[in-house]
Amino acid sequence: MAEPYTNEDRDAEAENVSRLWERVVPMFSLLEGRLDRVLTLRHNVGLGQLMALGVLAGEQSAPATVSGVARRLGLSVSAASRMLAHLERSGWTDKVAWPCDRRASRVAITEAGRAVWRSASETLEHELDHAFTALKFDERYAHVASRLCRADGEPPAL
């Protein structure tokens, strides 16, 4: 018969999750800053903007709403709107009138935006692979990186 799950077990599990979180946050901040710098230098697009292009590139059948992009990126509608306006000024997105409601508009990725997405996402993937490989050998983050970098097809361990 299995032992019952006790409060001590829950406390130990919560402490493990807390320690993991304390390591993930600074690791994420360092990685996000590095990725943003590399993408900006090589492709003239920041990480957040690239993620917005990725959302739009994934919308195969129809343009996306600003609120839909905001929701997918975890941003406020205002922040997403400013980001999408910047992408439009760069020629990477277009506003598309919505025939059902002329007050509303949607956002679509342009061919230039799709080219930036393809090129920069390859850089992003390469930099992530490099970063996680390096993090595995940094004793401050090895535990976290090993949990995040599982064998192909396995979900990250929590």
Mean pLDDT by 10 residues, the chain (158 residues): 61 72 80 94 96 90 87 94 96 88 84 96 92 73 66 51
Q: What is the pLDDT of residue 24?
A: 74
In a domain, 27, yes or no: no
In a domain, 40, yes or no: no
Domain hosting 128: range is 46-148
In a domain, 135, yes or no: yes
Q: Could you give the angle at which helices 66-73 and 77-89 cross, rounded to 10 degrees?
A: 110
In a domain, 140, yes or no: yes
In a domain, 20, yes or no: no
Domains of the chain: total:
1
Q: What is the pLDDT of residue 7?
A: 64
In a domain, 110, yes or no: yes
Q: What is the pLDDT of residue 4?
A: 63
Cα–Cα distance between 86 and 69 in angstroms, integer? Answer: 14
pTM: 0.74
Q: What is the pLDDT of residue 154?
A: 55
Q: What is the pLDDT of residue 48?
A: 95
In a domain, 95, yes or no: yes
Cα→Cα distances 38→2, 5, 57, 80, Å = 51, 47, 21, 22
Q: What is the pLDDT of residue 37?
A: 96
Cα–Cα distance between 109 and 118 in angstroms, integer? Answer: 12
Q: What is the pLDDT of residue 123?
A: 96
Q: What is the pLDDT of residue 89?
A: 97
> In CATH, what number is assigned to the domain containing residue 127?
1.10.10.10
